[in-house]
Chains A and B, each alone.
Chain A
Amino acid sequence: MIKLIGLVPLFPLIGFLINGFFGKKMSKGLSGTIACVSVLASFIVSVLIFMEVSASQQKSYVVEIFSWINSDTLKIPFSFLVDPLSCLFLLNITGIGFLIHVYSTSYMHDDEGFSRFFTYLNLFVFFMLLLVLGNNYLIMFVGWEGVGLCSYLLIGFWFKNDAYNRAANKAFVMNRIGDLGFLLGIILIFINFGSISFGEVFNKASSVPTYTITTIALLLFVGAMGKSAQLPLYTWLPDAMAGPTPVSALIHAATMVTAGIYMVVRSNIFYSISETASEFVAVVGAITALFAAIIGLLQTDIKKVLAYSTVSQLGLMFLALGVGAYSSAVFHVTTHAFFKALLFLGAGSVIHAMGGEQDIRKMGGLKKALPITFITMLLGTIAISGVPPFAGFFSKDEILAHTYEHSQLLWVVGSIASLCTAFYMFRLMFLTFWGSFRGTHEQEHHLHESPKAMTIPLIILAILSVFGGLLGLPEFWGAKNWMSENLDSVIIRKNPSILSHDTEWTLMAIAVLVAGSTIYFAYQMFIKYKVLPAEKEVDMKPFQRVIYNKFYVDEFYDTIIRKPLDAISEVFYKFFDKQIFDGIVNGTGDATKWSADTLRKLQTGHIGFYIMAMVVGVITILFFSLIK
């Protein structure tokens, strides 16, 4: 069955081709079904492969699909690496992908670009699968670029709106900046190791000087910063909310943004060797987590809150990676995928019910009108806030514990970020579902629960969010941590936890206490005292205004990067392009015309002149023989 790994990315590719060529001619039902079935088929094959890998002794299989680049100095076969890490991500991508596909058949039902949507979605799944399955950095890069492309296509899906197009451009360009670092890292790997296949590179890692490894690790991480929206390349993610909500759920919560995490985990040997790089990753992750969480405190668009929450959670994951807790990071990726996808899909359901409204200041009291959405979102929110025994609690706790071991300062930063997370998530919930409705009358009439195709995925994801924690129960409880055992073979250098059990219990207690008190505080603020976010910006206090405006980071980028670039390109256009290049091209044309005009005067039509010309020609020929 493992040999059939090629089928896993093949099914979505076929779905993409069918929908791409024939989508417009098919009915919406057929188009959606083909897309969903292809991802479901991939999921089934992934499950079978996963079971086989878990049951076998050998943990890592390399399956070559075809010989891709085959030259003397450079041999890069197109092969897939099947091991516990890639299997886990496979399940993640295809499973959650399938649920989101089903959800989209209902959400995008009225859209005329229905088949185009599914074409892009299938293509995205295909590239993401390539990314996690590749056995060398080049295939990973192909998938990396591919998901960036699909992200661009899907963010700008409603391309008639110019602001959405700009958001798509922004995402793509920022990704590109990260990709440059990634590519430089790959090149450096190739120069130092002579190969870019994982097995060969990781085996030789210790023989290369540490500063080279540091450079490689940092360059690869630059790619991760772009793709997974860390400081300073994170501003594209909130703007990417311009795309349809299923896109935000799939790409910007569960899969694409986790590509950076996958890449770092896959390359864990580099980060284990180079302490500088690990430190850098941890610090960047921690700062991002806190920064984004603070911004999320005052956002009023339901999707933007979730977007900043994603950035913040990704920061936590990178923090885990930076302190060496690789399996914790992967654990958090999985649980985060569950509840973030749930939250986004739920938000989509809310937006759908509100007829397109996304401002939470105009919502309120929706729990009666949207019961299933309400319950599932509540479960998701509790999970993300780290309340036991839900999924988020276990994964976050593991991360914070490992962080505490490494650096207490970073632990404080992480804990504050978690605090903010709990606060703004419950703020979101309270403002949306409790209290009285603050929207227009029309919207009130329109409120209805979403159809089954949308609610069933919500329910499934809610169940996973509740019970997902079982995947990684802490060891000091006496239970088996399935996640870290599973990934044992992938992590090359391990540093087992050295905290005493007492410390671990204490940390856990602190986390629960912090989460609980924050929720209580939020309850007091929003339900008891019915505090509402300011309607207009001028009503906010200055400090609040800064946070509301995302610390003016976008404006800052505009000034120092975009405006100078615009000026330079203006110069190039006016001077170089218009005068020099156009001048050369036009000049060539003019010169040809002038020479033709001049030569035309030779055609006098007088025989005498022609005879003279002939004689002159003869003289010239004779002259040359004379010279010889």
Chain B
Amino acid sequence: MLGYSVTQWLFGILSFLAIMFALMVVFTRNPVNSVLYLVMTFFCIAGHYLLLNAQFLAVVHIVVYAGAIMVLFLFVIMLMNLNEDTEPQKTIVTKLIAGLIGGILLAVMVGVLKGAEQMHLSQSGASQIGMVKTLGVVLFKDFLFPFEIASVLLLAAMVGAIMLGKKEIK
């Protein structure tokens, strides 16, 4: 309808939402609100994944990010009892400069990326990329070593986090 296909409509809406929520993350004062908006952003991005036929990733994305990481953030915020009043603010000048730099970065990036050719994404309907089976095969065949190391990494992170979080015994 309206000359655009469903895919394109979906893409547009999801993009718009993602960007809006991201802006809200940056600009709200209340940290709890920030967290919630970030969760919404993640959901939008998961939607993008689905559009790209990366089903496994979409699910994993929601489970890991929205489910685990954001919960962690919320825990910490609650622990520190942060709310709008105790929120420190940078000076207006700094914020302006930050915005300016962001704008310049955007302009430069756009300029750099403009030279890229117009390529249309194309997949065959029976594309198996994004299916768990395909990913699994690739993961365990070509990327076995990084996979194992990733587990070691997680172990290290866990140990580190625990050590760091311990109270000092006087």
Contact = CB atoms under 8 A, between A and B. Distances in A.
Interface in B79-120: 90, 94, 97-98, 101, 104-105, 108-109, 111-112
Given A608-B90, A608-B94, A615 B101 contact: yes
A622 B98 CA distance: 18
Contact of B105 (A608, A618, A625): A618
A615 B109 CA distance: 12
Contact of A619 (B90, B94, B97, B108): B108
Interface string A603-628: 00000100010011011001101100
Contacts of A612: 97-98, 101
B108 A622 contact: yes
Interface in B123-168: none
Contacts of B90: 608
A625 B98 CA distance: 23
Nearest to A618: B105
A618 B97 CA distance: 16
Contact of B112 (A608, A615, A616, A622): A622
A287 to B, nearest CB: 88
A619 B104 contact: yes
B112 A625 contact: yes
Q: Which of A608, A616, A619, A625 has the most CB of B within 10 A?
A: A619
A299 to B, nearest CB: 91
A615 B112 CA distance: 16
Nearest to A622: B108
B10 to A, nearest CB: 31
A622 B106 CA distance: 11
A626 B112 contact: yes
Contact of B111 (A608, A615, A616, A626): A626
A618 B108 CA distance: 10
A302 to B, nearest CB: 93
A623 B109 CA distance: 8
Contacts of B94: 608
A284 B5 CA distance: 116
Interface string B24-53: 000000000000000000000000000000
A616 to B, nearest CB: 6
A619 B110 CA distance: 12
Contacts of A625: 112
A619 B101 contact: yes
A466 B105 CA distance: 107
Contacts of A622: 105, 108-109, 112
Q: Which of B104, B108, B111, B112 has the most CB of A within 10 A?
A: B108
Contacts of B104: 619
A622 to B, nearest CB: 5
A626 B98 contact: no
Contacts of A618: 105
A497 B35 CA distance: 124
A623 B112 CA distance: 8
A624 B108 CA distance: 10
Nearest to A615: B101
A605 to B, nearest CB: 15
Contacts of A608: 90, 94
Contacts of B98: 612
A626 B101 contact: no
Contacts of B105: 615, 618-619, 622
Contacts of B112: 622, 625-626
Contacts of B109: 622
Nearest to A627: B111
Interface in A573-628: 608, 612, 615-616, 618-619, 622-623, 625-626
A92 to B, nearest CB: 90
Nearest to B94: A608
B108 A623 contact: yes
Contacts of A615: 101, 105
A619 B105 CA distance: 6
A625 B112 CA distance: 7
A616 B111 CA distance: 16
B90 to A, nearest CB: 7
A427 B104 CA distance: 104
B97 to A, nearest CB: 7
A612 B98 CA distance: 7
A509 to B, nearest CB: 112
A618 B106 CA distance: 12
Nearest to B108: A622
Contacts of A623: 108
A619 B109 CA distance: 8
A619 B112 CA distance: 11
A625 B104 CA distance: 15
Contacts of A626: 108, 111-112
A197 to B, nearest CB: 74
Nearest to B111: A626
A625 B105 CA distance: 13
Nearest to B101: A615
Contacts of A619: 101, 104-105, 108
Interface string A557-576: 00000000000000000000
Nearest to A625: B112
Q: Which of A608, A615, A616, A622 has the most CB of B within 10 A?
A: A622
A625 B101 CA distance: 18
Contacts of B111: 626
Nearest to B106: A619
A612 B94 CA distance: 10
Contacts of A616: 101
Interface string A69-111: 0000000000000000000000000000000000000000000
A607 to B, nearest CB: 12
B100 to A, nearest CB: 10
Contacts of B101: 612, 615-616, 619
A625 B108 CA distance: 10
Interface in B48-79: none
Interface in A147-166: none
Contacts of B97: 612
A514 to B, nearest CB: 107
A628 to B, nearest CB: 10
A624 to B, nearest CB: 10
A618 B102 CA distance: 11
A625 B115 CA distance: 11
Nearest to B90: A608
A616 B108 CA distance: 11
B56 to A, nearest CB: 32
A618 B104 CA distance: 11
Given A619-B104, A622-B108, A626-B112, 7 more contacts: A612-B97, A615-B101, A616-B101, A619-B105, A622-B112, A623-B108, A625-B112
List of 10 A-B pairs having minimum Cβ-Cβ separation, nearest first? A622-B108, A626-B111, A626-B112, A619-B105, A619-B108, A623-B108, A622-B112, A615-B101, A619-B104, A626-B108
21 contacts: A608-B90, A608-B94, A612-B97, A612-B101, A615-B101, A615-B105, A616-B101, A618-B105, A619-B101, A619-B104, A619-B105, A619-B108, A622-B105, A622-B108, A622-B109, A622-B112, A623-B108, A625-B112, A626-B108, A626-B111, A626-B112
